[in-house]
Amino acid sequence: MAEPLRIGIAGLGTVGAATVDLLRRNAASIAARAGRPLEVVAVSARDRRRDRGVDLTSLEWFDDPVALARAPGIDCVVELMGGSDGPAKATVEAALGAGRAVVTANKALLARHGAALAALAEAKGAGLFFEASVAGGIPIVKALRESLAGNAITRVSGILNGTCNYILSRMELEGLGFAEVLADAQRLGYAEADPTFDVGGFDTAHKLAVLTSLAFGVEIDADAIHVEGISAITPLDLKMADDLGYRIKLLGVAERTATGIEQRVHPTMVPKTRPIAQVMGVTNAVTVSADAVGELTLVGPGAGGNATASSVMSDLVDVARGVTVAPFGRPSASLEKAERMPMQRHEGGYYIRLSALDRPGAAAGIATRMAEKQISLESIVQRRPSGASTDRSGRSGTPVPVVLITYATTEAAIRAALDAVLADGHIAEPAQLIRIERDLD
């Protein structure tokens, strides 16, 4: 059998430790598939004393991950530290600069510096692999880069953050508020102490930036992504969605349109008939629409040590086999600069929840503002709070939840109409706005 692939791992958190354990546990079968043994020979982490559940005594230890990346006797560097800059970026650059293959799970690094790192890898003849950077154990990177290479892809969308999906699932099933479920998610380890990166949609946006480049052959442009989080979603929104035949999911969507590539992350009402609507809890899912295969949905664990280590291992096996592939599916110099599509041009249906003042003329005024912007309403649902007192006319004098479902219109028209409704004083607070993905029907 050929000489072993000598691996250095920078970062020994949950995924790093799981990678060491998985490689040892399945060493024989991995070597048989790769055609050579894979051996971890060196590691780097901040705390040598921490118990990580795996025996590291036989491995060379580096306090400086950049020194590990440059050390002799290492063929491949696995970067699992995280962060878009700092030690992670320096370590990857050092390894690629030395002509060594890099395997990384760092979506933030790729979203900000993916194009430059791909160019460096190509210039040095080194591989840059990142299956573990998106959707944990789901093999979506290879699917887009290799398995679907013969397809013209029109759309990629998915549930890319398990924390958000867990929160929305529990809110829907148990009728709980966002803050209560978030606190539970933090206690269970599904959410960080500062959850902004997850619940604000930014983690999903980084992953979407990687998928967009792979799907459409364009330069990564994370700043082009419209991002909204889930903190404003209420139990009432989830109940109304359920009544209307939808589920609310935080989706990342990249789509080629006639005017550019639309990239957006936001809560979305998805028809319950769609496979992605059935994905609950911390699970992830990605749907690809293409001309040859039609629609393909991959579902699986989106995070966790073993699931992510599985994707790391698939890349390591490719390195051991000597697989040569452009990081983003084509030479970095040929990646196009995508035409950005402003969110104002987005077209689709909308769910609008208004806290309408229960007084004469309010409903007519709201309808007039919608009509002025040529917005057609499919349905109007009014939910008077139970127990609210009314006057002789039957009005309560307090805000009443009113839900409007629109036919396809533009984001710009919706925003202009809602600004006018708010200025007219017909609603007590800014409207709740959730996009409907009817084109999935």
pLDDT tens column, 141-158: 999 999 999 999 999 999
Q: Write down which residue in 133, 164, 196 finishes a domain.
A: 133
Indicate whether 289 and 151 sit together in one domain: yes
Pick the catalytic residue: 89, 107, 142, 207? 207
Same domain, 126 and 183: no
pLDDT at 303: 84
Mean pLDDT score of the chain, rounded to an integer? 93
| 25-39: pLDDT as tens digits | 999 999 999 999 999
Q: What is the pLDDT confidence band of residue 42, given thresholds at 50, 70 and 90? A: very high
Helix ranges (H only) for 232-354 are: 235-243, 305-321
Residues 210, 96 within the same domain: no
pLDDT at position 1 over 80: no
Band (pLDDT 50/70/90 cuts) for residue 285 is: very high
What are 337's two structure tokens? 């600069």
Residue of higher predicted confidence among 379 and 313: 313
The strand ranges marked E within 278-382 are 283-290, 294-301, 347-357, 377-382
pTM higher than 0.85, yes or no?
A: yes
Number of domains into which the chain is organized? 3
Q: What is the pLDDT of residue 360?
A: 82
Confirm whether 33 is domain-assigned. yes
Torsion sign across C-alpha atoms 396, 397, 401, 402: positive
> What is the per-residue pLDDT across 209-265, written as a single tens digit (0 to 9) for each?
999 999 999 999 999 999 999 999 999 999 999 999 999 999 999 999 888 899 999
CA distances to 159, 362, 381, 384, 402 from 394, rounded to whole Å, are: 44, 14, 17, 11, 16
Torsion of CA 414, 419, 423, 428, to 10 degrees: 80
Residue 311 falls inside a structural domain? no
pLDDT value, residue 259: 81
CATH number at residue 400: 3.30.70.260
Residue partners of 13: CB distance under 8 A and separation at least 6: 45, 80
| Whether residues 389 and 262 fall in one domain | no
Query: Is 183 found in the same domain as 117?
Result: no
Question: In angstroms, rounded to a whole number, what is the distance separating the alpha carbons of residues 404 and 411?
Answer: 15
Task: Decide if pLDDT at 179 tops 60.
Answer: yes
| Boundaries of domain holding 92 | 5-133
> Quick check: 393 pLDDT over 60?
no
The three-class DSSP label of residue 231 is: coil
User: Helix, strand or coil for residue 430?
Assistant: coil
* In the predicted structure, residue 86 carries a pLDDT above the cut 70: yes
Any domain includes 391: yes
Mark whether 276 and 386 lie in a shared domain: no
- Considering the domain architecture, whether residues 68 and 202 belong to the same structural domain is answered as no
- pLDDT attached to residue 76: 98
**Domain-located, residue 328:** no
> Helix and strand tally (H, E) in the chain?
14, 17
Is 89 found in the same domain as 226? no
Residues 230 and 275 in one domain: yes
Q: Are residues 110 and 193 in the same domain?
A: no
Same-domain status, 121 and 154? no
Q: 300, 333, 368 — which closes off a domain? A: 300
pLDDT score for 40: 97
Residue 89 is a catalytic residue: no
CATH code for the domain in which residue 111 is found: 3.40.50.720
End-to-end CA distance of the chain: 52
